[in-house]
Structure 1
Amino acid sequence: MKIVSLLLPLGMLLGAVTACEARTPQVVNQEVSVRLEPAQHELSGSSSVRFAAGTGAVEFRLSQGAEIRAVTCAGRPLPYRFTGGVLTAELPKSGAEPTLTIVYRARFNDPVADSPGASEDPSYGVSGTITGQGTFLGDSADWYPVPAQVPTRRTLTVTAPAGTEAVSFGRRVTRETRDGITRSTWQESHPVGALSLCAGPYRVEDRTVDGIELHSYLYPENAALSGRYLDAAERYLRFYSGLFGPYPFEKFAVVENFFQTGYGFPSFTLLGGAVLRLPFIIDTSFPHEIAHSWWGNAISIAPGSGNWCEGLVTYLADYYLKERRSAAEARDYREQLLIDFASLVSGDNDFPLTRFERRSDPSSRAIGYGKAAFVFHMMRSRIGDEAFFAGLRQVVRAHLYDSASWNDFADAFSKSSGKDQHAFLEQWLTRPGGPRLRLVEVVNRREKEGWSVAGRVVQDGADYPLDVPLRLEGEAGNVETRLALAGRSTPFRLVSKGEPRRVVLDPDAEVFRILTQEEIPATVNSVKGSRQLLGVRTANCRAGAQGFSDLLASFSQPGTQVVSEEEFNQGQFGDRDLVFCGVPRTRESLPRLPDGVQVDREGFTVAGEGYTGTDASLFLVLSRPGAAGRVSALYQPLSEAAAAQYGLKITHYGKYAELVFARGANRIKARLAVPESAAAVLFKR
């Protein structure tokens, strides 16, 4: 980013690149018809597109491997050019609305990984695949002719071998099986984006709630889950409609994918079978995808303005539902966002939120999902619930079936709160990182009426104007205030009737800030965020060389140097973060193990339960004494089979330091206590 861009007001920075000119839609109507042929990984299709009168040159995206059978206008062949996945043609001049028809055939067979669970890429590299197991054709596969402009109306008809049910955007107009063919037609009142299509041997269940058609399309082995998911869909659709306004689509469907995804599309969500069966998904990932119905689907991200969508949905689903259940859960979630950012993001991979497009690795997720969610939390704390949710409803009213930018949210929150919020948002959106805060020169003094505590809050690096909570804990209870930081150093004074025990900066993690090394517990994310990771294979490593490499790659650390225990003991790697595969012979190579954890070369014991044999795996992350900010991890699968079964799951437990897998599942997941830090001062008595 150019330095000058940091000096621009937020409205200039974002508004200039997101302004849209009002214009008459050129694509009046599109009808798409495809026939799936799973045995050949192919589809045959045709699309008729009606344009506004006077339209001349037209352009479509279509899979560059497609075979064009015919391009016609008013039944007559039309010259066209098809190269590099782009089809262009010149419509004949006429006073009527011309209709162009494209007939084509295309093959889609992206390979689906057997064990995709460790990837940060939510698509696993699959944009389009047609198989006997299932069909997934995403909006980037260009599986039908995609015009340069979203049509005003759009209809899709899908035919497939009998028993293969299809799902796409819009309302299901027809569904039938006859003469060995299953056919369905889908029609959109308000088309958005490019179409996606899924198909498989689904069991289908339907219901209608508040005028919204609800469907489940699940494989036979998971069909019994239909009722639970439809009940949850009803519950969350009503909840979010109360917050944002009416649900923006004709239907909502929960659809099972044949590989493990968690997608939110306009009017349906696509979840992998293993994901569907996880008991917590129905109250975590599922509402997240439903919230995307408004944010990201009915309202898209304005090009070039930064992806606000993932942070907002993370806040409104993953976080807000926890807050409604428990203040303690909400505080833990906010604190974990700060820990994740500090563990995963450093100067060489940080960037401002205006540059976030999509997650590609753990650090980009910590920025675009975690930091952005925190920005929305701080805005809500700043203006209050009434103004915050009124601002969201205003964005929905103004931008439904269109796009929105960060600047549009700043406008809405300014209007709903009655106070300009652009400058506040600008500092969080246009700067990488965040404030670094610490308490200094803190002293307590006995006075006539009690005690006083004075000190300063110092900002290291760039300063942020913000209000930070302070809490004085003592015998007479807590004294709390919000300190308005001004510049690099801000003095404070708190008074208590009883003797103070501790003063804490931002005790409930209400402000986004960069934690100090002392505040960051060792976790799996500490390994994923390491800039200097070393793998050490001991003689006791039972993962195999490839299994250990796969583990390191799953942490987004491909190409990590791996040495033998003998090479490590030569003492050349003391400044690195370490992952030991197997128990080292020299036990001093590992930090002191937590209470209740014992390891030896044949197995391990955690929380009083011993694990031996072949079906178990331990992963333990510990801070390295004498090496500030460095960690040592112990990976101890008890067999190569255990490494293959459990190793790639570890990356999904980023906030934990102690993990045990056995008998096919995770058995123990534990975090280490967050230590005292520069953000807290404990008074000696």
Structure 2
Amino acid sequence: MLRRTVIVTAAVMAAVLGVATGSQAAPAPGSPGAGDVYYPDYGNGGYDVAHYDIRLRYYPDTDRLTGATTILASATQDLSRFNLDFALATTSVRVNNRPAGFTKQGDHELVVTPARSIAKGAPLTIVVEYDDIPSNVVASGFTSWNRTPDGALAVNEPEIAWWWYPSNDHPTDKASFDVSVLVPDGVEAISNGTPTRWAAPAFDGWSRWSWRQDRPQATYLAFLAIGDFETYQDTSADGSPIVTAYNTRLDAATAAAARTSVERSDEITDWLAGKFGPYPFGARGGVVTGADDQGFALETQTRPVYDGRSFLRGSNNSLIVHELAHQWFGDSVSVGQWKDIWLNEGFASYAQWLWSEDQGEGTAEEIADYVYSTAYPADSAFWQVLPGDPGAGDLFDGAVYDRGALTLHHLRKLVGDEDFFAILKAWTEARKYGAGTTPEFQALAERISGVDLDAFLQEWLYTPGRPDLGVSTLAVPAQPKSWPQIVAAHH
């Protein structure tokens, strides 16, 4: 064995320990936001998260939530302090095995000052302990945690993480997750991904439910549904676990309608894979809440959550298609900026039109004609909302969904079916587990189709008023553009 003398320099040791050296630029605070145009204080700068480990105990009778979240991250700059997005009462913070200082700034910024500054590239292990009643906590003017008659729901968009775990809360910083929750016996705790503990006895009267999401996931797509659920487990043809759950407060007719819809999720997922490319995650399913619990459905990753009222009038397969289409458009490929939300909602809405066409219930062309000519007359306020830049107050306006879907339908007519579906599959593959913006989508679509889309997208996404259908026939050959030109086209 050859023996060598290793000289460890101060810089090398500093990097190993995660300490900034004096020869470098002075450590600086990480920014309190991720640079989102609509939500400048959402997310944070200075670090990148790799994993969240969330361990909780929930008391349904009082809505008390206690626990600790461990965050594995790496510093992207020399850090003197950094922020986490979190609204609950914090009892302690540790960074790299040492107690850290922490203060609350505003209603959802937790400012953390490590005992030692952190060098760029160094690992970060952050442990935050907390104890609070989430339904009593107001941030940004509202309470997103939803207490229900038998438990609670942590399901919302874009703000939900603040009420149950600290995070870097922006879709551009995805991570894997472990979620483990202690609840009283007889109460279920459902979350994303694969179940690793299922009602495992912990001690008298309490059981633990644990879930693992091993694929990158945006913070708002992590969910928690606690309550009295009837649960089912199965396995898909590819070996993925399927978990579905239905709140027991649903009446028999609504529960039956919900099951006839949600239990088709595996079939619909496979159908969508034929349109958009391979399913990007390793688990499947869905959760149905009580009929008055939340009032909306959300594409929580691998396991969408549906409000029971969605099935009051019978089965609702179109809704299942919408939320499962988001697994590609919104979950695997997330928005680079919240202003690009049409890349989520317009695509999921168009998937509903494609399903209708496949099922013989109305072609995409018939639906597009109805939406354009009948559902929204030319003088409707609907046409004044710009899908490509709706504003934070209209993030989920109907125009983002339906005018977004119309944009895709007329893009399909402009470039032809072969190129259109090639564009969708290329987008989901190129941006898989990442994020994208409208200019980036345009650049890809132009590269595949050879069509200049400047005038088309300007008309459909960024111009008030009902678009002129004539612009959809202008198949102008695309000219090579520099990246600044592409970005400038929509700013």
TM-score (norm 2): 0.74
Quote the residue 1:219 is aligned against: 247
| 1:247 pairs with one of 265, 273, 279 | 279
Assess, with a 3 A threshold, how the Cα gap between structure 1 residues 173 and 24 changes in structure 2: closer, same or farther. Answer: farther
Residues 639-650 of structure 1 aligned to structure 2 (within 5 Å): none
> Is 1:161 matched up with 2:184?
yes
1:171 aligns with 2:198: no
Q: Is the 8 A contact 2:339 2:392 kept in 1?
A: no
Residue matched to 1:295: 329
Query: Which residue identity does 1:158 align to in structure 2?
Result: V
Aligned to 1:188: 213
Q: What secondary structure is seen at the aligned counterpart in 2 of 1:285?
A: helix
Q: CA deviation at 1:386?
A: 1.4
The superposition leaves residues 575-594 of structure 1 with CA deviations (integer Å, 9 ceiling, x where unpaired) of: xxxxxxxxxxxxxxxxxxxx
Q: Distance in 2 between matches of 1:197 and 1:224?
A: 23
Q: 5 Å matches for 1:9-28?
A: 26-28=48-50
For residues 300 and 465 of structure 1, what CA distance do their matches in structure 2 show?
Answer: 28
The answer to whether structure 1 residue 146 and structure 2 residue 167 are counterparts is yes
The Cα of 1:344 is off from its aligned counterpart by 7.1
Counting matched residue pairs gives 405
**What residue in structure 1 maps to residue 109 of structure 2?**
86
Separation (CA, whole Å) in 2 of partners of 1:297 and 1:59: 24
Residue 441 of structure 2 aligns to a residue whose secondary structure is helix
Q: State the 1:430 CA deviation.
A: 2.1
Consecutive unaligned residues of structure 1, counting only runs of 5 or more, are: 1-15, 112-124, 438-463, 469-481, 485-685
Map of 2:484 onto structure 1: none
Structure 1's 135 and 366: CA in aligned 2 closer, same or farther, altered over 3 A? closer
| C-alpha deviation, 1:314, in angstroms | 0.8
Change (3 A) 1:94 1:336: closer
1:459-512 alpha-carbon deviations (Å, 9 max, x no partner): xxxxx54449xxxxxxxxxxxxx9x9xxxxxxxxxxxxxxxxxxxxxxxxxxxx
How far does residue 219 in structure 1 lie from its aligned partner after superposition? 2.3
Which of 264, 280, 296 is the equivalent residue of 2:315? 280
| Matched position secondary structure for 2:199 | strand
Q: What's the % identity of the aligned pairs? A: 22
Aligned position for 2:348: 313
Paired with 1:27 and 1:330, the residues of 2 have a C-alpha distance of 40
TM score, norm. by length of structure 1: 0.54
Aligned partner of 1:137: which letter?
Answer: A
CA contact (8 A) 2:354 2:363 kept: no
Alpha-carbon distance between aligned partners in 2 of 1:17 and 1:261, rounded to the nearest angstrom: 25
- What does residue range 657-668 of structure 1 map to in structure 2 within 5 Å? none
Distance in 2 separating the partners of 1:186 and 1:435: 46
Cα offset, 1:227, TM superposition: 6.0
**Structure with higher strand content:** 1
Deviations 1:327-368 (A, max 9, x none): 855454223312222277249x8133221257859xx74421
Over 3 Å counting, the alpha-carbon distance change for 1:332 and 1:71 in structure 2 is same
- The partner residue of 2:131 within 96, 100, 105 is 105
Q: Tell me which amino acid in the other structure corresponds to 1:61.
A: D
Aligned match for 1:334, one of 357, 368, 392: 368
Residue 448 (structure 2) pairs with residue 416 (structure 1): yes
Cα deviation code 1:549-605 (max 9, x no counterpart): xxxxxxxxxxxxxxxxxxxxxxxxxxxxxxxxxxxxxxxxxxxxxxxxxxxxxxxxx
CA distance in 1 between counterparts of 2:422 and 2:37 reads 26
Q: Deviations over 1:149-188 (max 9, x none)?
A: 7354321111111121112222222223423222122222
The structural deviation recorded for 1:225 is 6.2
2: CA distance between counterparts of 1:34 and 1:50? 18
In our comparison, the structure showing a higher alpha carbon Rg is 1
Q: Distance in 1 between matches of 2:379 and 2:310?
A: 25
Q: Secondary structure at the match of 1:267?
A: coil
RMSD (CA atoms)? 3.3
SS in 2 for 1:424: helix
1:197-217 residue CA offsets vs partner (Å, 9 max, x unmatched): 111111211111122211111
Indicate if the aligned counterparts of 2:187 and 2:226 stay in contact, CA closer than 8 A: yes
Do residues 232 (structure 1) and 264 (structure 2) align? yes
Relative CO higher for 1 or 2, CA cutoff 8 Å, sep ≥ 6?
Answer: 2
Call closer, same or farther: CA 1:155–1:325 in 2, change over 3 Å. closer
* Counterpart residue number, 1:535: none
**How far 1:389 moved relative to its partner?**
0.8
1:371 is aligned to: 403
